[in-house]
Structure 1
Amino acid sequence: MIDIILSDKSFENDVYPLVKAFYPEAAMKVYSEEEYALKHTDPLEQGIRLEVNFTEREIMIFLSQEDNKPISVSTCVPEGIGKSRYKNVMKRSLYELLSRITEKQLPWGILTGIRPTKLVYEMLEQNMDTEDIYRTMGEEYLCSDEKISMSIEIARREAQLLQEMDYKNGYSLYIGIPFCPSTCLYCSFTSYSIEKYSEYVEAYLEALEKEIQYAATCFPNKKLTTVYLGGGTPTTLQEDQLERLLKKIREYFDLTYVKEFCVEAGRPDSITEKKLQILKQYGVDRISINPQSMQQKTLDLIGRRHTVDQIYEAFHMARKTGHENINMDIILGLPGETKDDVSDTLKQIKKLNPESLTVHTLAIKRAARLNMEKEQYMDKKATDVSGMLKESIEFANHNGYLPYYLYRQKNMAENLENIGYAKYGKEGLYNILIMEEQQTILALGAGGMSKFVFHEENRIERVDNVKSIMDYIQRIDEMIERKRSFLELNKHLYN
């Protein structure tokens, strides 16, 4: 157990993730000094106690471990620096202490947020040269040269792609279909098993259509740039339901200027030839068929309920129906998998030759069964995930895939990252827009989080929908009103 005691608890979101990166398996609790004094009157019995005291000109860190001499570090804070740089001073001091104790080096240094490439993208916009970017990322954030190099390559590609679209005068549309054939072991997204919740699908679609009709009126002076149907698994819908939804999108939105229309067809057991034909008929030009692994033992363990053969069948069916831009996702670090398993998965994906490949590193979320039932899978924990990632990078390089977007998540295996690769010209534009937060994204459906980007004010605001499908159905008018009220308040900026 690690007890973290902060003199200023507003720094919790800066301290906790960094400590967790060094001690991923440890249970942790954050206290204010007052809370800790009330709850802990006995001397330290087990584990670690970490105290961080913040003053304007000094940051003091005290660390006590069982059977070890307490360690203290004091760091002077330069005068007049802002809060952001103050946080970085604290995080560097904490990083160096924990690195010395654990003998670990984190590839992303003190960066614990999900968008490390956004920092580099902003540096490029400020016309910083490569040497200065390396220096800043290395000295300010303690990133490894490998991660800095990758970030620069990806940020440059993103900048090039963004220049090719009028993103500031456009917006994107996300529509969530929160149903899946089954819930995977690692999943924490808003998703519901179609077997258990099929009775709600019709009512959900009715509510969603109501929100679609309203959303089409939100930006009369902006062009729709990308459309993304995610979830869940949108192709879990029946053929007539899928066509009905796509028809409504086409009916209410002007798709003339859309540069990408992507649908997650992630589960091969949800795909039929007719559904693929419907997607093609309504202008969908990018789909994802996501195996996560090409190892049957893994698919069975994580609850995918489909076979490797079905992945091949779905992919070939998509080609047969004219889909020429297919993405495939894999996850590194799945329970029980070895580096050899990942090698075999990559070999099989090479045979299929998708236009893009998204390589995820397993992130165990609090709400996932893999976390809630973790004792059951302790003996199946994957090792050498860094080696798996290295192999996937080499695979991409040797097979014509270029990295074009990157993001990170909390509790990622070995503190790594997710990387999107694509053959030139086949990049997922929506992925870039949402990761770099350069364009307003209107999100519809249960769990949708709309992001409103105000470039001139350097401001991003969020308006969320409820996550529960039952609440969404019952409160659809409220979801619409949330957006309407926000846009009314900011209409002078959008008109």
Structure 2
Amino acid sequence: MISVILKGHDFVYEVFELLRIFFVNDEIRFIDEKALVDDQSLLIESILYKNNHSYVVETNIKKGDKLLSSSVINEAEKIGVKDFSEKKKLKIAVKMSIYEAVTKVVEMKAPWGILTGVRPTKVVHELIDKGYNDESILEILLNNYKIFKEKAKLILNIAKLQRKYIYPVLKTNFSLYVSIPFCPTRCVYCSFPSNPLDKSKNYVSEYVEKLIYEIDKVGELTENMKINTVYIGGGTPTSISISYLEKIIDRIQNVFGTDNIAEFTVEAGRPDTISRDVLIKLKKLGIDRISINPQTMNENTLKLIGRKHSSKDILEAFSLAREIGFRNINMDLIVGLPNEGVEDIIKTMEFIEKLKPDNLTVHTMAIKRASKLNESLNDFKLSKQKEIEKMIDITRKFAYEMGMYPYYLYRQKQILGNMENVGYTVQDKECLYNILIMEEKQTILAVGAGGVSKIFFPDENRIERVPNVKNLNEYLKRVDEMIERKKKFIKLLT
């Protein structure tokens, strides 16, 4: 049990998210009185006060009557970035103080320092926008955000690469996400909207009908806007009949036109849903980017996580896609899958190196609340931080040897080893949609069950999240409501 007392500030969310990095398996509770702490609990006091017209931040960590560590930051209002508001500076100072005190008493490393958000590159973009040079940005990341040097350099390089794809920011530009919430089977780690086809195949026809209806209505709402990219994801889009996919893609192209679609991605995902007929038809429809996602090339792991295909199926599907003419193929893999270690990652990367994909997305295993894995953690062996670090390092070295460089990055809650997910690419094959969805500098309109639209207001640098319902039956009944949810925000852009 970790007990926390806050004095002089109410940064509950920020403090909780930071402490959760270090105390993964402990309950963290916020209390008002020290008397509520038993002698066996760890007490963390975070105090903010004024002293001679200057702010002081103090953190004390105690167990019983014993002071284990402390940290004091004077003149907290002068922290780091002069352009930040006083409240933001104080928030950073509170987290810095807690970080410094906690790292004296725990072994867990925090490579991302006090950054707890999903998109660490946003910090760099903000600093670049404010006119800071590379040297100053690195100094801020290292000293104020406590980020490890290799991570700071990583996000600085990624942000600089991304800017040519993000700017100029135009509020009438948008990308389209299309959710196909069906899969052959549900993987143990999955938390996405995904309905196994053996139980939901009778809903597919009606779902496609409702989805096309929503696409039509979004087309009407965006007649004064300009589409940029399209991404069909899921689930596994290719798990439904190719005739249904053809209808969806045809409607998208008819409604929005093809001239302005700079990139059109379809997640082929599971190799057990890929055939020559599927790939030929996708190619004829003008799809220029697909994903074939092994997650691992180890047979035992594929069975364990619920994937009904083999590594041979992956190799055959990839070779077939190349033969048919796809020149932009992404592959996803997951570091830290149950029961996997360093040797397993090496084996997977050796397979991928031979295939030479154009993009490689390396995910670190995250324990999602809605996943089967979260419900049965005791049934699986998961890697610890040091092993995760070794495996991530292996994927990075292989990616560089394949002529790839990192182009987007994001993090997730409950991610193993407190690491990150990184997208690598060969020259000029960056996925535009991945950059846009992660950096949140363009409106993403999502259609289908579980899709989340993100309406971007550049004048305020603000995102408004507009979710569609996740439940398949609810979506079928409430599609008009999903359209209305988007309508009132799209109107503000046009």
Q: How would you bin the TM-score normalised by the shorter chain?
A: over 0.9
Equivalent of 2:119, from 105, 115, 120?
115
CA contact (8 A) 1:335 1:382 kept: no
2:316 alignment partner in structure 1: 313
Native 8 Å contact 1:108 1:142 kept in 2: yes
User: 1:124-203, aligned counterparts within 5 Å?
Assistant: 124-163=128-167, 168-203=171-206
1:50 aligns with 2:44: yes
- Distance, in Å, in 1 between the alignment partners of 2:434 and 2:362 is 13
Q: 1:322 Cα shift?
A: 1.6
> Given that residues 4 and 28 in structure 1 are in contact (C-alpha distance below 8 angstroms), is that contact kept between their aligned partners in structure 2?
no
Q: Which residue of 2 aligns with 1:28?
A: 27
User: Distance between the aligned counterparts of 2:354 and 2:202, measured in 1?
Assistant: 39
Native 8 Å contact 1:334 1:381 kept in 2: no
Structure 1 residues without counterparts, runs of 5 or longer: none
Could you tell me which residue of structure 1 aligns to residue 15 of structure 2?
A: 15
1:250 matched to 2:247? The reply is no
Instruction: For 1:131, give the aligned amino acid.
Output: E
What does 1:168-317 align with in structure 2 at a 5 Å threshold? 168-317=171-320
Post-superposition offset of 1:440: 0.7
Question: Is the contact between residue 441 and residue 450 of structure 1 (CA under 8 Å) also seen in structure 2?
Answer: yes
Shift of the 55–289 alpha-carbon distance from structure 1 to 2, 3 Å rule, reads: same
> How far 1:479 sits from its partner (Å)?
0.7
Displacement of 1:232:
0.9
Give the percent of matched residue pairs that are identical in Structure 1 and Structure 2. 42
Cα distance between partner residues in 2 of 1:381 and 1:71: 25
Deviation of residue 261 (structure 1)? 0.1
User: Counterparts of 1:315-394 in structure 2 under 5 Å?
Assistant: 315-378=318-381, 384-394=387-397
Aligned-partner residue type, residue 216 of structure 1: G
CA RMSD of aligned residues (A): 2.3
The answer (yes or no) to whether the contact 2:37–2:43 under 8 Å persists in 1 is no
Deviations 1:344-377 (A, max 9, x none): 1111001111111011111111121211111111
Q: Is the contact between residue 77 and residue 89 of structure 1 (CA under 8 Å) also seen in structure 2?
A: no
Select between 15-24 and 207-216 the one with higher mean Cα deviation.
Answer: 15-24
User: What SS class does the counterpart of residue 220 from structure 2 fall into?
Assistant: coil
1:344-493 to 2 correspondence within 5 Å?
344-378=347-381, 384-488=387-491, 490=492
Q: Which amino acid aligns with 2:116?
A: T
> How many angstroms apart in 2 are the aligned matches of 1:420 and 1:379?
23
* 1:86 matched residue in structure 2: 90
The answer to whether the 8 A contact 2:18-2:116 is kept is: yes
Aligned counterparts of 2:107 and 2:489: Cα–Cα separation in 1: 49
CA distance in 1: counterparts of 2:99 and 2:36, whole angstroms: 28
Query: d(CA) in 2 for partners of 1:352 and 1:471?
Result: 41
CA–CA distance in structure 2, aligned partners of residues 91 and 207 of structure 1: 47
Moved more, 376-385 or 444-453: 376-385
The structure-2 alpha-carbon separation of the partners of 1:418 and 1:284, relative to structure 1 and needing over 3 Å to count, comes to same
Offset at residue 380 of structure 1 (A)? 6.9
CA distance in structure 1 between the aligned counterparts of 2:145 and 2:69, rounded to whole angstroms = 23
* Shift in alpha-carbon separation, 1:455–1:345, aligned structure 2, 3 A: same
Per the TM alignment, residue 302 of structure 1 is displaced from its structure 2 partner at its CA by 1.0
CA distance in 2, matches of 1:168, 1:255: 20
The question of whether the paired residues in 1 share the 8 Å contact of 2:294 and 2:332 is answered with yes
Q: Deviations over 1:25-47 (max 9, x none)?
A: x13233352xxx6xx97651544
State the AA in 1 paired with 2:202.
E
**Offset, 1:65:** 3.4
Say if 1:205 and 1:55 are closer, same or farther in 2 by CA, change over 3 A: farther
- Per mean C-alpha deviation after superposition, the further-off stretch among 179-188 and 196-205 is 196-205
Q: CA deviation at 1:298?
A: 1.0
Q: Would the alpha carbon gap of residues 7 and 470 (structure 1) be closer, same or farther in structure 2, given more than 3 Å must change?
A: farther
Amino acid at match of 2:469: V
Q: Deviations over 1:270-311 (max 9, x none)?
A: 112211122112211000000000111111111112111110
1: CA distance, partners of 2:265 / 2:298: 26
Q: 1:95 & 1:205 partners in 2: Cα distance?
A: 49
Counterparts of 1:487 and 1:10 in 2: how far apart (Å)? Answer: 34
Secondary structure (helix, strand or coil) at the match of 2:117 reads coil
CA–CA distance in structure 1, aligned partners of residues 387 and 108 of structure 2 = 14
Structure-1 separation of matches of 2:339 and 2:123: 35
Counterparts of 2:74 and 2:265 in 1: how far apart (Å)?
Answer: 50
State the alpha-carbon separation in 1 of the partners of residues 31 and 489 from structure 2. 35
Aligned residue in 1 for 2:82: none
What's the CA shift for 1:484?
A: 1.5
- Alignment correspondent of 1:4: 4
Instruction: Identify which range, 69-78 or 354-363, moves more after superposition.
Output: 69-78
Question: CA–CA distance in 1 between the matches of 2:475 and 2:183?
Answer: 17
In structure 2, what residue type is equivalent to 1:384? Answer: E
> Residues 328 and 358 of structure 2 are in contact (CA less than 8 Å); yes or no, is this contact kept in structure 1?
yes
8 Å contact 1:9–1:31 — kept in the other structure? no
Q: What is the CA-CA distance between 1:68 and the residue it aligns to?
A: 5.6
Q: Do 2:69 and 2:102's aligned partners in 1 also have CA atoms closer than 8 Å?
A: no
Q: What is the letter of the counterpart of residue 63 of structure 1?
A: I
Q: Is the alpha carbon distance of 1:352 and 1:378 closer, same or farther for their aligned partners in structure 2, counting shifts above 3 Å?
A: closer
Asked whether the 8 Å contact 2:231–2:266 carries over to 1, the reply is yes
Alpha-carbon offset, residue 203 of structure 1? 2.0
Q: How far apart are the structure 2 equivalents of 1:70 and 1:386?
A: 28
Work out whether residues 3 and 37 of structure 2, in 8 Å CA contact, stay in contact via their aligned partners in 1: no
The alpha-carbon distance between structure 1 residues 263 and 170, as it changes in their structure 2 partners (threshold 3 A), is same
Structure 2 distance, partners of 1:380, 1:389, is 12
Deviations 1:403-455 (A, max 9, x none): 11111111111111111011111110000001111111111111111111121
Structure 2 unpaired stretches of 5+: 79-84
Q: Give the Cα separation in 1 of the matches to 2:103 and 2:286.
A: 51
